[in-house]
């Protein structure tokens, strides 16, 4: 299944207290990356020892099928991480609603002395999200799907409160997971030299052919 991404950025502020949810996803990814590394070594040993060309072809086929199953298992684990993070965020929001002293005023773009940016710029962010998106878990008969991904860039540059708002639930879910799996932190937004939380809205579309 081939895919093509289109992105646009809009920004608007949000002042909430979340953070470090990314570690849930990085732990899952690190675990499965290690398993892939070990399996790759084992299959390579089998491949190198196999004298027949037909045998080598079968080993390559087995390896490809095994890795595809591994991708599916990893995605199931990442969905579990997403559920845990969203539950924790929902509980946090309930707690904040009972604390009237917490300000929810949002800084506007004109108030910022420096906007939040992703290392390598917009094109690098787009490329990484596309690479991390697991399209095999998206169920659709449509040729193109769209969603708006809203997330918060925290004061330390991590992201939190990722929420995709589109018609296809499976597409939304994979967009949220891809955002949480981003390997780098943002450079946070600043107001008069002080880092502030800031919220982005990222329209995202994918063509399925």
| Region label for 31, one of left (φ > 0), alpha (ψ between -120 and 50) or beta (otherwise) | alpha
What is the structure's pLDDT at 9? 41
What is the structure's pLDDT at 106? 59
Contact of 171 with 138, CB cutoff 8 Å? yes
What is the structure's pLDDT at 3? 53
The predicted model scores a pTM of 0.81
Ranges under pLDDT 50 in the chain: 7-20, 99, 101-105
Contact of 174 with 138, CB cutoff 8 Å? yes
| Calpha distance 209→170 (Å, rounded) | 17
E strand intervals along 33-185: 144-153, 159-166
What is the structure's pLDDT at 203? 85
**What is the number of H-type helices and E-type strands within the chain?**
4, 7
């Amino acid at each position: 299944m081939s895919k093509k991404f289109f992105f646009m950025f809009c920004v608007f502020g949000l002042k909430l207290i979340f953070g470090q949810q990314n570690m849930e996803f990085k732990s899952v990814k690190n675990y499965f990356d290690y398993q892939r590394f070990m399996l790759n070594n084992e299959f390579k040993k089998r491949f190198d020892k196999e004298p027949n060309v037909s045998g080598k072809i079968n080993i390559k086929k087995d390896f490809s099928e095994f890795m595809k199953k591994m991708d599916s298992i990893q995605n199931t684990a990442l969905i579990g991480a997403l559920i845990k993070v969203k539950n924790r965020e929902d509980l946090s929001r309930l707690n904040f609603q009972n604390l009237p002293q917490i300000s929810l005023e949002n800084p506007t773009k004109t108030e910022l002395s420096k906007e939040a940016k992703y290392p390598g710029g917009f094109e690098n962010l787009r490329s990484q999200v596309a690479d991390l998106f697991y399209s095999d878990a998206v169920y659709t008969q449509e040729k193109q799907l769209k969603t708006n991904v809203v997330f918060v860039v925290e004061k330390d540059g991590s992201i939190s409160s990722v929420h995709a708002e589109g018609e296809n639930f499976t597409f939304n879910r994979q967009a949220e997971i891809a955002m949480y799996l981003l390997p780098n932190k943002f450079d946070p937004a600043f107001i008069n030299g002080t880092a502030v939380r800031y919220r982005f809205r990222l329209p995202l579309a994918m063509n399925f052919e």
